[in-house]
Structures are given as structure tokens and as C-alpha cells.
Amino acid sequence: MKIISFAVTHPVTVWMVTLAAVVFGLTALGRLDMRLLPEIRYPSLTVQTEFPGTAPVDVENLLTRPLEEAVGVVPGLRKVHSISQSGLSQITLEFNWGTAMDYAALDVREKIDLVRLPDEARVPLLLKYDPAQDPVVRIGLSGNASLIQLRNIADDVLKKELEALQGVAAARVSGGLEEEIRVEIDETRLSALGLQIGAVSQALASENINASGGRLRDRNAEYIVRTLSRFESLQDIEKVTVGLVEGKPIRLSEVARVYRTHKDRTTVTHIDGQESVEIAIFKEGDANIVEMARRVTGHLENLRERLPVGVKLEILFDQSLFIASAVQEVRNNAIIGGLLAIVVLFVFLRDFRSTLIIGIAIPISIVTTFILMLTRGVSLNIMSLGGLALGVGMLVDNSIVVLESIHRRRELADEKLDPGEIAATGANEVAGAVTASTLTTLAVFVPIVFVVVGVAGQIFRDQALTVTFSLAISLILSLTFTPMAVAFGQRVRGSRLGEGRLGPPQAEGTGIGWYGAWSRPATSRFKLVRAMQLVALFLVLGLPLLLGRGTQFLTALLRRVVLILMWPLTWAFERTFPMLQNFYRIILDWALGHRLVVLFLVLILAGGAVSLWPRLGTELVPPPFSG
């Protein structure tokens, strides 16, 4: 393949492209949204209309039926069902999955505007159900102050401060006592004076105004004039003239009692048994939940210093903490899985250069995947990170096959041949097989991307995309970066870095030098030798460090340390793997000699699995909490 030859003959270009991909990938990682689950949009709308003081039958005839007939012709509509109750009409519209809900909402609004509703009915509201619109942060305000004072602090200070933060869409205050001015009319006194209640209401409305009074022009300037007549105290309200009786003005205080109180309570909140005020913070549509919550919690530190003495401000619920914890757990598992894959590779391959190449290819593949995730609108959630963790184990397959082919070609080729030519030839031999293997895996995940029906399609889309992206990038790296890195290492350092070899481990007792001694059994014969080797190792390796031997010494030191740390695994592997090979050979010979028995056992296992299928439970996603 030409791409392999180009990569081997242009190592600088491959290194620069790889470096650019890493830089752009890290930049994309900082811009990815973080949430618990992928964004889920239900294709449904609700038309809610209030008709105060109306019986359910009238709501059905005057509101529900006309609105149903109007919106029933909207394209993509699958089902309509409604509820008519006293003073309220609710019509739920269910659309086909895949319908563009923004345009569907515009169509529904257009059809509603064409319906002539009774004058007493309020303007219909168009509601969308979106799980992402739940409050991200809930804040509690409590203390020694009165509930009215706490509510005023929340409305006048905290709400305005928090809504000004980047990423915050709204702050909703609930609980406490919301202050109001109540006017209780003495009906007996009002009737005796011959006045109507409507006149009192009209007088109050006309006196408490803030209206435009026109414009004044002065040469090149123009001034806007407003009429300000707002009530500033209870006395101003009591002095309002509500009517004239025999030419004498009647004040509101003569026919009513005006006092300060609070609205009827609909919500009561408690913190540790004490009544409080709650502030729910909602995020903007494209805001990062974790970043927004971090800004809110950081700004609360400044707000606490400005609160009255005895008033406490605390976070009751923070959705970002659970999201960050879940995402971090999946991310850590993916990192541990990658490290374990590298360790297993080193135990099997026993080659530093090959393990290093694959160890570099894994993070490069993952970081580059972030670029494609950003372009396709995939967020960092437990499904997408789970897809990355699932793909980590598959990332190394292509590179291992290419490395093995290059190593075999290097053993068969003439030593005078250029390392780049050997690497290109070895990679070309397995390029077709590696590509076919990756495409067969992609064929399993790619169809999930095009599943748009139901919630499951929206949830698993992110996982399918991340697996697809990571595997595609790993294929490209195995055909470009891997052969280039092998050839580059051969040209620069020869074979000193990877003194081991690809292939089966050495037989017991055939190790050479330090590693050979450490790979032998820990019998009493070698205990003293190993202790002496440790002392000599630090003396021999410490002397060059003091003399400033530099990079060569550090490389040798790192190699020795890794060999010592990995010795328990390699020692156990050398003794267990041959046993497993012999056991597998015995089982394989028996299976080939008893084919009917093996077939019968397989059929029994398959039948048992099928019989257990009805007993398995069914649910969309597993419970988030257990135990």
C-alpha cells in the first residue's frame, strides 16, 4: 500500500501529523460537553391552555376539540391524546422518531394561532419534555431571619447574581413567604356608599401606573417622558380615591383594610427540619453541566460573605458531582485497562521497543478520537467513555499483527536491507488482513449509528460512534505510525533498545545477564547471588549517574527497573504458559478425536442458554445505584 511506503519514507511528516492530531485532540477534549447520559429528545409536545372557572365539558367543547382538529394535520404526527378538566386543557402530541422537533413546534404554533378561542381563555402554552432541563444545582437558604426576608434575599440578590453567570439559563426560587399587599374590602360599608367592587379595582389599577407620556424635542435632542405613579407605601394605597359620594371623595381606607402579608403557600422546603428557601439552577441548552456547576459553587463563596449574620447558604443537590464521579470512574477504568494491556503485551512479547510503540499508539488513538467526537456532537458520558474503554482492548490488535509481520520479515531478510524497506514489506503483507479484520468489527457497530427509533438508539449512538472512530484511527496508525516507528527506531538506535524478541519466551535458565538471573527460581542457591546483584546494580548504575553519563544511562536504568518490577509476572508467565499450551494441546486432540461428543455438548449448552432467556429481566438501562 502506498500509504505505508509514504509513512516509512517520510517519518518527519508522520511525526508532525501525529503531534498535530494530539494537540487538536486535547483541545477538543476541553470543549466536549460532560453529562451523565447522551442527550435524549422525546418526540412529543404538550399544548396546555387554561380556561378559569369552566366546567370540563365546556373545556372539551370550546378548547380541546378545536385545538385537536387544528394540530391534527401537522406532518409527522403519530398520536394525539388529550385531558379536559376543570379550567385546564392538555393535548399531548406524539411524533415519529426522527422528526425535527424544532420545526414541528413551529408548525404546531402556527396551527394554534389560527384557532379562535374564547376571550376568557389564556394563551395556549407549548411545552416540551426534555430530561436535560431538570435543575443542575439546588441551593438552600436558611438561618435566623424571617421567611419573608429570606425570600427577598433570594429574589433580589441571589437570583440576579446567579442568572448573570455564564451557562446559567434561569434561577427559580421556591419556598419561604412571598410578600404581597392585601386589600380586604368591607362589603357592607361599600354597599352603603353605593360603590361597586369593580370601581375599587379600577381605581387601584389607574393609580399605580408607569406609562409613557410621549416625547419632547429640544433642537437636536429628544427626550422620552414617562408618567411615574407607583405606590411606595401602604399610606399611598390607603389614600386612593375609589369614588365620589355627594361630591365628597371616598378614600380606600374608609371602605377597606390595607395591610402587608404574604401569598398563599404552595411549596414548603426544609433543611434539617428548619423551613428554608430553595433556589433551583437551570443550565443553558449548550452549556457544560460540570463547568456551569463549578462557576455556581465558586460564586457562592462570594455571596456567603455578603449575607446577613446568621443566614446560611448551602448546596442541597449538585448533579455535576454525580456526573463527574461516574465519568471519572469510567475514564479511570479505561486508563487501567490500557495499562494492563501494555503489561500483558510486554509479558508476551518481551520486547521494549514493540511495547513502547503500542503503548504510544493507544493514547494517540484515544486523543485523536476526541476530534471526531467533537465534530459529531458526541459528549463525554458513560456511554461514549464506555465505548472508548471497549475499544482500548481492540486498539492493540492491529499494531501487534503489523509488528509481528515486520519482525518476521526482518529475521528472513538480508541484514544489508534498509530498515524502512523491511518495515514497509512486513506491513504490506498483513495490511489487507488487518483492514478486513477492522472492517468486520466496524460492521457490528456502524449500523447502530443509523438507529434513530426509540430511546435506545439515542443512548447507544454515542457508544457506537466512539468505538467506530477509535478503531478506524487505530487502523490508520497501525499502517502508518507503527511501521514508521519500527523503521525509525532501527535507524536511530539499532537494536539496543529492544534486546528481547517477539515470539515465545525463552526456556528456563536460558536468560542472559541480570534478567536471566532474576528469572530463575528463588532457590537458596541464588538468594545470595541476587542480594549481591542488587548491591552491584546500584553501585554500577549509580556511578555513571554521578559522572553525568546522560540519556544512555537513564535508558539503561529505566530498562533495568522495569525488568525488576516485571519479574514476578514474567516468572509466573514462563511457568504457567507452557502448562496451558500443553493442556490446550491435550484438549484439542481429544476434541478432534470425539467430534460427536463435542457437538452434543455444544448443543446442550446452547439449548440451556435458550431456555434461560425468558427468565432474564428487561430494562432500558441498569439502575444507577445498587446495594
- DSSP annotation of 286: T
Q: How far apart are CA 26 and CA 135, in angstroms?
A: 30
pLDDT, residue 300, reads 87
Q: Is 50 helix (H, G, I), strand (E, B) or coil?
A: strand
Q: How many CB atoms lie within 10 A of CB 348?
A: 18
Over residues 134-155, mean pLDDT? 85
pTM, entire model: 0.65
- Look at the domain 2-31+350-493 and name its fold: Multidrug efflux transporter AcrB transmembrane fold (1.20.1640)
Q: How far apart are CA 437 and CA 440, in angstroms?
A: 5
pLDDT for 598-616, tens place per residue?
999 999 999 988 888 888 8
Fold agreement between 44-129 and 133-178+265-322 = yes
Please state which of the ranges 169-183, 258-272, 341-355 shows the lowest mean pLDDT: 341-355
Let me know if 24 is exposed, middle or buried by CB neighbors in 10 A (0-12, 13-18, 19+).
middle
Q: What is the mean pLDDT of the chain?
A: 79
140 phi, psi to nearest 5 deg? -110, 135
Q: How far apart are CA 178 and CA 264, in angstroms?
A: 8
Q: Is 125:90 a contact under the CB 8 Å cutoff?
A: no
Let me know if 358 is exposed, middle or buried by CB neighbors in 10 A (0-12, 13-18, 19+).
buried
pLDDT for 91-122, tens place per residue?
989 888 878 888 888 999 899 988 888 888 88
Query: Quick one: pLDDT band at residue 359, thresholds 50, 70, 90?
Result: confident
End-to-end CA distance of the chain: 54
Superfamily, domain 44-129: Multidrug efflux transporter AcrB pore domain (3.30.70.1430)
Which candidate, 462, 558, 403, places its Cα nearest to that of 35? 462
The alpha carbon torsion through 217, 220, 221, 222 (nearest 10 deg) reads 40
pLDDT, residue 1, reads 75
Q: Is the pLDDT of residue 400 over 90?
A: no
Ordered DSSP codes for 326-381? HHHHHHHHHHHHHHHHHHHHHHHH--HHHHHHHHHHHHHHHHHHHHHHHHTT--BS
Query: Quick one: pLDDT band at residue 394, thresholds 50, 70, 90?
Result: confident
Q: Is 112:67 a contact under the CB 8 Å cutoff?
A: yes
- Look at the domain 180-262 and name its fold: 3.30.2090
Over residues 124-149, mean pLDDT? 80
pLDDT, residue 297, reads 87
- Please name the amino acid found at residue 407: H
pLDDT for 416-467, tens place per residue?
667 778 888 888 888 888 889 888 888 888 888 877 666 777 778 888 888 8
pLDDT, residue 602, reads 93
Q: How far apart are CA 518 and CA 532, in angstroms?
A: 12
Q: Is the pLDDT of residue 543 over 70?
A: no
Q: Higher-confidence residue: 222 or 437?
A: 437
CATH class assigned to 133-178+265-322: alpha beta
* Highest mean pLDDT pick, 166-170, 479-483, 588-592: 588-592
Question: Any residues with CB less than 8 A from the CB of 540 and at least 6 apart, and which?
Answer: none
The domains of the chain are located at 2-31+350-493, 44-129, 133-178+265-322, 180-262, 532-612
